[in-house]
């Protein structure tokens, strides 16, 4: 505990020094800067000495604006675990990669890149795509991992498609579907639901041009995720159920087909649970469970994460969604989190565990699950509306929140 306290004090001193440097660079005196922040001169002096913690997002947003800083991470990067966000004109929070990806998706490609060998360039982009997914699953900063590479992948895939001869278009359509699926995942995870929907639509159009049932099914899975992100549950069910019917004749022809079919069944299960259709939720979960068993314990789909561990954590999510918190906690205790080969998926599962504990009014256990989730992926917690809602709830119920809860509220951009 003493070591942790010393480390926190050192972090506060570094942050204070950074604030002072930014203030001086801005040409502001101590009093003027404090007045612009709506604070006293003594408060700002203590901040710069590391004696006053910056523990409210509203304060950070105001201070960033006064100091002319759009990236909050420049001020408190030590406490944000390296996750970077930007202050928008309305005071909102946006992942730094969003504007560039939006431009890559929206800007007409008037002058495609010149390439000598389109097939070879397609192989190179596919290799980069595979590397991006691998990094996504293994990184504790998965959103940044995708955000860094997504704009270039979108531009290069679109350019190759414009350059390709008609005989090469099936491959470029397939590549575009894969790239837009990656883009949708990023936008969905950082809360940009409308852009996520656009990316999902473009993935579906591209997949349909290939005529490949598995590619179409995976694009439908992506579209279902986008609909769930907008809380359009009936739309999500329609997309997934129709895709399952389309894929049914092909599901036993390959592991990829059965995996896609099982992934769609899990989305139908969770959407049914959200709609209060408990029996339907478990019926579709059973179908997914059977598919995972046939594929074997070593199967993990690199895009959907379909496999036995993922099916297991969906059972926890269904219990949480249907109000069976005690059952969810019991199931979670039997889950080997380390068997889930994705940092983001592990973090999301632990958020469901936290929800279960919170509904049982066990705030300490919920807090432990949130912090455990943050260890696996700090960015998943930062951008999760569910995590923010839970933290707000715990803050509102406590007259004097614990320092650990306040620290977590800062890292997840809660306005306290």
CATH number at residue 43: 1.10.260.40
Q: How far apart are CA 377 and CA 350, in angstroms?
A: 10
Domain contains 297: no
Of 386, 387, 361, give the one whose Cα is nearest residue 374.
Answer: 387
**Sign of the C-alpha dihedral computed for residues 280, 282, 284 and 286 taken in this order:** negative
Closest C-alpha among 324, 264, 329 to residue 291? 264
Q: Are residue 7 and residue 66 in the same domain, yes or no?
A: yes
CA-to-CA separations, 369 to 258, 274, 314, 316, in angstroms, rounded: 33, 22, 17, 14
146 and 70 in a common domain: no
CA 34 to chain centre: 36
Same structural domain, 37 and 108: no
Distance of CA 148 to the CA centre of its chain: 14
Q: Residue 71 pairs with which residues in a beta bridge?
A: 86
Residues belonging to the chain: 416
Of 45, 65, 49, nearest to 14 (Cα)?
Answer: 49
Distance from C-alpha of 263 to C-alpha of 261, rounded to nearest angstrom: 5
Number of structural domains, the chain?
2
Tell me if 117 is assigned to some domain.
yes
Return the SS3 of 187.
Answer: helix
User: If we measure between CA atoms, which residue out of 81, 92, 82, 79 comes closest to residue 50?
Assistant: 79
In 121-199, DSSP assigns E strands to none
Nearest to 136 by CA among 385, 381, 379, 375: 379
Angle at 287 between CA 281 and CA 289, to 5 degrees: 100
pLDDT tens digits for the chain (416 residues)?
444 456 668 888 888 988 998 898 888 999 999 999 999 999 999 999 999 887 665 677 788 889 887 656 667 665 544 446 665 554 446 788 898 899 999 887 666 667 789 899 999 999 999 988 988 998 888 888 788 889 989 999 999 999 999 999 999 999 999 999 999 999 999 889 999 999 999 999 999 999 999 999 999 999 999 999 999 999 999 999 999 999 999 999 999 999 999 999 999 999 999 999 999 999 999 999 999 999 999 999 989 999 999 999 999 999 999 999 999 999 999 999 999 999 999 999 999 999 999 999 999 999 999 999 999 998 888 888 888 889 888 888 877 888 888 888 877 766 43
Does 111 map to a domain? yes
Question: pLDDT for 242-285, tens place per residue?
Answer: 999 999 999 999 999 999 999 999 999 999 999 999 999 999 99
- 412 and 191 Cβ atoms separated by less than 8 Å: no
Q: How far apart are the first and last CA of the chain?
A: 25
Does the CA dihedral 37-40-45-47 come out positive or negative? negative
Per-residue pLDDT, 107: 80
Residue 20 resides in a domain:
yes
**36 in the same domain as 101:** no
| 99 & 168 share domain | yes
- Domain with 159, as residue range(s), is 95-191
Q: Is 120 exposed, middle or buried (0-12, 13-18, 19+ CB in 10 A)?
A: exposed
Among 54, 79, 104, the domain boundary falls at 79
250 is a domain residue: no
126 neighbors 178 (Cβ within 8 angstroms): yes
**C-alpha span between 75 and 283 (Å, rounded):** 50
- Spatial distance between the Cα atoms of 52 and 46, rounded to a whole number of angstroms: 5
> Is residue 63 domain-shared with residue 5, that is, in the same domain?
yes
- Point out which residues pair with 95 in neighbouring strands: 85
Is residue 93 helix, strand or coil? strand
Residue 370 near residue 391, CB atoms below 8 Å: yes
Same domain, 60 and 1: yes
How many CB atoms lie under 10 A from the CB of residue 144?
21
Q: Is 153 within the bounds of a domain?
A: yes
User: Residue 238: inside a domain, yes or no?
Assistant: no
In angstroms, the CA 17 to CA 96 distance is 24
How far is it, in rounded angstroms, from Cα 378 to Cα 133? 18
- Closest by CA to 153, choosing from 190, 114, 186, is 186
Domain membership flag for residue 62: yes
Which residue, among 300, 316, 241, has the nearest Cα to 271 in the 3D structure?
A: 241
> Same domain, yes or no, for 22 and 75?
yes
Specify whether 168 is located in the same domain as 109.
yes
Q: Last residue of a domain, which of 170, 191, 212?
A: 191
Same domain, yes or no: 67 and 124:
no
Q: Quote the tokens at residue 362.
A: 């066990």
**Claim to verify: residue 99 and residue 153 sit in the same structural domain:** yes
Q: What pLDDT does 83 receive? A: 45
Among 144, 176, 191, the domain-final residue is 191
Partner residues linked to 94 by β-bridges: 86
DSSP structural state of residue 71: B
* Measured distance CA(175)–CA(178) in Å, rounded: 5
Asked whether residue 74 falls in the same domain as residue 17, the answer is: yes
């Amino acid at each position: 505990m003493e070591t942790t306290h010393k480390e926190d004090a050192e972090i506060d001193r570094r942050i204070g020094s950074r604030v002072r440097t930014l203030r001086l660079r801005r040409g502001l005196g101590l009093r003027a800067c404090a007045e612009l922040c709506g604070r006293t001169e003594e408060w700002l002096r203590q901040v710069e000495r590391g004696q006053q913690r910056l523990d409210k997002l509203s304060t950070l947003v105001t201070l960033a604006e006064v100091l002319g800083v759009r990236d909050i991470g420049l001020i408190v990067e030590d406490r944000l675990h390296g996750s970077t966000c930007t202050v928008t004109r309305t005071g909102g929070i946006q992942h730094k990669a969003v504007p560039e990806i939006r431009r890559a998706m929206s800007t007409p490609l008037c002058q495609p890149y010149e390439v000598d060998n389109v097939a070879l360039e397609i192989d190179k982009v596919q290799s980069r795509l595979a590397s991006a997914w691998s990094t996504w699953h293994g990184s504790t900063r998965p959103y940044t991992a995708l955000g860094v590479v997504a704009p270039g992948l979108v531009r290069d895939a679109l350019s190759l498609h414009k350059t390709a001869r008609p005989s090469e278009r099936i491959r470029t359509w397939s590549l575009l579907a894969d790239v837009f699926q990656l883009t949708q995942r990023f936008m969905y995870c950082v809360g940009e639901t409308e852009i996520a929907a656009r990316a999902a639509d473009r993935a579906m159009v591209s997949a349909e041009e290939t005529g490949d049932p598995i590619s179409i099914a995976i694009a439908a899975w992506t579209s279902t995720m986008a609909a769930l992100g907008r809380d359009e549950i009936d739309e999500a069910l329609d997309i997934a159920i129709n895709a399952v019917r389309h894929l049914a004749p092909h599901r036993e022809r390959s592991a990829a087909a059965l995996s896609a079919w099982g992934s769609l069944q899990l989305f139908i299960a969770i959407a049914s649970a959200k709609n209060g259709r408990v029996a339907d939720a478990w019926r579709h979960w059973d179908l997914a469970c059977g598919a995972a068993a046939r594929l074997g314990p070593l199967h993990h789909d690199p895009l959907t994460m379909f496999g036995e561990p993922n099916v297991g954590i969906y059972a926890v999510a269904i219990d949480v969604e249907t109000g069976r918190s005690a059952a969810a906690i019991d199931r979670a205790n039997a889950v080997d989190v380390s068997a889930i080969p994705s940092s983001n998926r592990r973090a999301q599962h632990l958020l469901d565990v936290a929800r279960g504990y919170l509904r049982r009014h066990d705030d300490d256990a919920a807090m432990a699950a949130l912090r455990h989730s943050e260890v696996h992926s700090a960015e998943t917690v930062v951008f999760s509306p569910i995590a923010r809602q839970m933290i707000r709830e715990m803050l509102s119920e406590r007259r004097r929140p614990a320092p650990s809860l306040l620290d977590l509220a800062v890292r997840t951009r809660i306005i306290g």
